[in-house]
A and B are shown apart, each in its own frame.
Chain A
Amino acid sequence: MIVAEKKPIEEIIDQVKDFQKLLIAGCNECVTVCEAGGKKEVGILASALRMYFMNEGKKVEIDEVTLERQCDHEYLEEIRDRIDKYDAVLSLACGVGVQFMAEKYFSTPVFPGVNTCFMGAAEERGVWSERCQACGQCILGETAGICPISRCAKRLLNGPCGGSTKGKCEISKDLDCAWQLILDRLKELDRLDDYEKIMPIKDWSTERAGGPRKVVREDVRL
């Protein structure tokens, strides 16, 4: 899933303080699971903002909505009939949702309420970590199912570097060395010999480096 983190309330206030009618829009997908922008967080943020504006003596109307998905035309359409009531939307969806909202409601200011962090998973309750950087050419089959692009601090395809210490990465004792994980799993799979295969120079044109990406599937187009 896409993992996001709530923006600090001060930053949010700074973005929306000049508007009178505000819609806070949550999303029922990833940001709900990572507890950053679901229905619950929309409610908490709305209360906090109401309190803030009341203390400031400002009259600001704040409505709440949580859409099934903000990265989807169909669900975004659900608010078309009322969008004109608002001066601005504060979207708690990931960056994709915020942008889809802005594209769809072209004349309504839209602000992000979360920082979109990465694609990852919950390791345990309250701890999320990165697993994929969408390089567009997945090599997990060669790296024992562990991604060195997103999980090695140097994106080494032929790691580990000389800084790997006791299973941890040179940049932090709290971070597993991806190459230690790869080696442990290669061993488990009885494939340690594969370690000596040199991974060729990667084609990064399918990654961010190649410019904004698009997938076009003729077979599913209408």
Chain B
Amino acid sequence: MSTKTPSKLEEILTAGHLAVTSECGPPRGSDPEDITKKAEMIRNHVDAINITDNQTSVTRLCSLAACVHLKMMGIEPTLQMVVRDRNRIALQSDILGAASFDIHNILCLSGDHQQFGDCPKGQNVFDIDSMQLIQTVRLMRDEGKFLGGDEIKRPPQMFVGAAANPFADPFEIRVPRLAKKIAAGVEFIQTQCIYNLDKFELWMKLACDRGLHEKVYILAGVTPFKSAGMAKYMKNRVPGMDVPDEVVKRMSGVPKEKQAEEGINICVESIQRLKEVEGVRGFHIMAIEWEEKVPEIVERSGLYPRPDIS
């Protein structure tokens, strides 16, 4: 397969390597060091770094600016873009802005509802949905056209990604939904954090049965637990998250000071098992405010060194 964009992530995946991506949340302030420090910790262990877009609807430094900081450090960013806060004018405009800095990866998302964040009284936009954002980026890239039909001078060259949550309900449409995203033009997928491996494997199997794994690169999402409390919180409070009881039990079963280590162990074991799953083409390691652990996870999972592609 040949690549369609200058994205390093695309090149690594196309070459058949297991890709490794991670993500950083921008700060609630304007100090660029909050991003550059995190990125510095993980730069040698990942192929690209996602920058979240006002995740959980909490106002933060914008994803695009943070991506530019990574770019200036020579790190490949993935621009996360939610459709909650911008209409089609702003979305297309930001895509062009990102393209002007040669940002080559984009992740198209709906975004959490604003009621979860710091501005629950604000408006939301949802002019288009994440499926339609995928279509929009592909239109801009492949046909060099705006949604309005006009031509784009120097169209964006972006490898187009989206999220998939195999654990949200109803399960029976989770694979059809993946198929739909593929039909919309998605090229890589980063999944929701996987703790229920059996269910993930079932989802992957159903996707493979339809041949979807040959049409899209699927990066399995993992997040290490820092504590038993975090495991319980994710299980009970985060919508669309599936944390089986035995995982919570395993975390609670070790003394407090050992829980962080156990969390990393679980994460590494999950990656080892997921590596064997047909259709898994890489990993997306979301170590929430725990970036310093990413190198250890990558190394212990046998994913280091990263392929040298430039």
Interface residues of A (CB under 8 A from B): 153-167, 170-171, 177, 180, 183, 195-196, 198-202, 204
CB within 8 Å for A155 and B113 given contacts A165-B168, A196-B180:
no
Q: Which residues 109-139 in B have Cβ within 8 Å of A in the complex? A: 110-113, 115, 124, 126-132, 135-136
User: Using Cβ atoms and an 8 Å threshold, which residues of chain B touch A167?
Assistant: 169-170
Contact at A154–B168, with CB atoms within 8 Å? no
Nearest-CB residue, chain A, relative to B88: A201
Task: Check A165 against B169 for contact (C-beta < 8 Å).
Answer: yes
How many residues of B sit at the interface, in one of the four size bands?
A: 20 to 34
Task: Give the docked Cα–Cα distance between A28 and B127 (Å).
Answer: 37
Report the bound CA distance from A154 to B109 in whole Å. Answer: 12
Given contacts A183-B170, A195-B176, A204-B127, 7 further A-B contacts (CB under 8 A): A154-B124, A154-B126, A159-B129, A160-B170, A162-B163, A163-B168, A163-B239
Q: Mark B168-199, 1 if CB is under 8 A from A, else 0.
A: 11100100110110011000000010000000
Return chain B residues, CB-CB under 8 Å to A177.
169
B165 beta carbon closer than 8 Å to chain A: yes
Complex contact A162–B183 (CB within 8 A): no
The answer to whether B113 touches A171 (Cβ under 8 A) is yes
B15 within 8 A of A: no
A-B CB contact pairs (8 Å), 18 listed: A154-B113, A154-B126, A157-B132, A158-B129, A162-B192, A163-B168, A164-B169, A164-B240, A170-B113, A170-B239, A180-B169, A183-B170, A195-B173, A195-B176, A195-B180, A196-B176, A196-B183, A198-B184
Task: Please tell me which one of the listed residues B115, B135, B239, B240 contacts residue A198 in the complex, with CB atoms under 8 A apart.
Answer: B135
Task: Closest B residue to A193 by CB, please name it.
Answer: B176
CA distance A103 to B124 in the complex (A): 32
B162 to chain A, nearest CB (A): 10
A199, chain B: closest CB distance, angstroms: 8
Which residues of B80-112 are within 8 A (CB) of A? Answer: 84, 88, 110-112
Residues of B contacting A158 in the complex (Cβ-Cβ under 8 angstroms): 129-132, 180
A198 touches B183 (CB 8 A): yes
B129 touches A157 (CB 8 A): yes
- Complexed CA–CA distance, A155 and B110 (Å): 10
**Chain A residues whose CB sits within 8 angstroms of the CB of B111 once the complex forms:** 154
CA distance A36 to B163 in the complex (A): 44
Within 8 Å CB of A200, what residues of B?
Answer: 132
- Does B147 lie at the interface of the complex (its beta carbon under 8 Å from any beta carbon of A)? yes
A156 touches B192 (CB 8 A): no
In Å, the complex CA distance between A159 and B136 comes to 17
